[in-house]
Structure 1
Amino acid sequence: MLLEIKNLYVKYGNVEALHGININVDKGEIVTILGANGAGKSTTLMAVSGLVKASMGEIIFSGTPLHKISADKIVKLGISQSPEGRRVFGILTVLENLKLGAFTSSDNKKIKKNLDWIFELFPRLKERSEQLAGTLSGGEQQMLAIGRALMANPKILLLDEPSLGLAPILVKAIFETVREINKSGLTVVLVEQNAKAALKLAHRGYVMEVGNIVLEDTAQALLANPDVQNAYLGGTK
């Protein structure tokens, strides 16, 4: 087991956002977490990244308890997140944004190798490497956010709403690239409201409602589940 979330509770002040959830991720999987706005999907990823702290429960990554260490050390262990809303540094160039993603590494050869790989995955970023990130289109900024996360050379990539605000053709392109990233051996946890696209990409999935896991199954089984179809896929065909 690469990542284990055990009985995780998270609070924002007096408001409990996660009510004792359990999620497991095996090495090499794409696992998607589905749910409506406010279900707790992003909170789950932020807890794994150390950006919010657990009030109870455990997060274990390759035997190491993440809930006891700082966010920067979590990145160094091999967990990298591409956040919802992209959050690129608009006044920096594409190349500068990507190099910031490698802040944990001092190995210039490895940094160069990762950069070449990202430019291979996203040729558009190479074309715009000297362009200010704030002038990129939404799709290009999403590519940059994923590329920046990959520069940390992670073992597991956390993707938070990568399709948000993008045209369908760009969503397809981004998801195809995520599949290629996974084929290279990288484990992916995908938070996504585009349930159909996410389930077609993933191996397994979890469905969240108001801070609870209400369903867990293979992606194929969730696609065929009438409750999932009615709630997230526009009804049964």
Structure 2
Amino acid sequence: MLLQVVDLKVKYGNIEVLHGINLEVREGEIVAILGANGAGKSTTLMTISGILKPSHGGIYLDKTPLHKLPAHEIVKLGIAQVPEGRRIFGTLTVRENLKLGAFTRRNDAGTAAAEEWVYELFPILAERREQLAGTLSGGEQQMLAIGRALMSRPKILLLDEPSLGLAPILVKSIFQTLREINQQGVTILLVEQNARAALKLAHRGYVMEVGNIVLADTAEQLLANPEVQQAYLGG
């Protein structure tokens, strides 16, 4: 098992927001986490990447306990996160943003190769490499945020609401690229409110409600589940 989350509890102050969740991600998978606002999806990703610390339980990458490590060490081990809202550096160029994603790497040749890989995945970024990131469209900024995370050559890419605020045609394009990234060897853990798009992309999924995982199944079974259809698929 590449990633294991075991009985994970997280608090904001005295308020517990994750109540002992368990999830697994196998190497090569795309796994989706679905749920309404406030379900705990983003908190789960932020805790896996070391930005939040658990009050109980553990997170393991190839059996290495991530919950004992600072965030920058977790990146070095192979986990990179694309945050909700993109969080690019608007006053830096596209290329400068990408180079920041490679801050844990010490191999200039490897960094250059990663940059070329990003440009192959997102050709528009190659055209805009000297452009200030703040002047990009929303879709281009999302591509840049994904590209920046890929610069560390992660084993697992964590994505938090990549479709947020984007037109449907852009969502389709970005999700097609995510499939390509996965086929090139990157495992993906995806938090996404667009449940239909997420489940069409994913191999498996988890459904969260108020800090608990209430359902886990293959993406195909979740798409066919009447409760999931009513709650998240509009019918």
Q: Tell whether the structures are fold-level matches, with TM greater than 0.5.
A: yes
Report the identity percentage: 72
TM-superposed deviation, 1:199: 0.1
Matching residue of 1:111:
111
User: In the alignment, residue 38 of structure 1 is paired with which amino acid?
Assistant: G
- Cα displacement (A) at 1:14: 1.2
Mapped partners of 2:142, 2:214: distance in 1: 29
Q: 1:17, CA displacement in angstroms?
A: 0.9
The structural deviation recorded for 1:216 is: 0.1
Deviation at 1:183, TM superposition (A): 0.2
Query: Cα offset for 1:149?
Result: 0.1
Distance in 2, Cα, partners of 1:15 & 1:95: 41
Residue 228 of structure 1 corresponds to 228
Task: Measure, in 2, the Cα distance between the counterparts of 1:100 and 1:74.
Answer: 16
Are residue 183 (structure 1) and residue 183 (structure 2) matched? yes
Q: Which residue of 2 aligns with 1:158?
A: 158
What TM-score results when the alignment is normalised by the length of structure 1? 0.99
Unaligned runs of 5+ in 2: none
Partner secondary structure for residue 207 of structure 1: strand
Query: Any gaps of 5 or more consecutive residues in structure 1?
Result: none
1:41 aligns with 2:74: no
Q: Which residue of 2 aligns with 1:167?
A: 167
SS of aligned partner of 2:131: coil
CA RMSD after TM alignment: 0.4
Where 1:157 maps in the other structure, the secondary structure is strand
Partner of 1:120: 120
Shift of 1:222: 0.0
**Secondary structure of 2:48's match?**
helix
Q: Distance in 1 between matches of 2:201 and 2:232?
A: 16
Per-residue CA deviation, residues 172-228 of structure 1 (Å, 9 max, x unaligned), is 000000000000011000000000000000000000000000000000000000000
Q: C-alpha distance in 2, partners of 1:26/1:192?
A: 19
1:202 aligns with 2:199: no
- Give the structure-2-normalised TM-score: 1.00
Residue 75 of structure 1 aligns with an amino acid whose one-letter code is V
Residue type of the partner of 1:28? G
Equivalent positions of 1:64-143 (< 5 A) are 64-143=64-143
Offset from partner CA, 1:47-76 (integer Å, 9 cap, x none): 000000000001001110000010000000
Distance, in Å, in 1 between the alignment partners of 2:144 and 2:186 is: 18
Please list the CA deviations of residues 140-184 of structure 1 after superposition, one character each: whole Å capped at 9, or x if unmatched: 000000000000110000000000000000000000000000000
1:107 and 1:140 map into 2 onto residues whose CA distance is 27
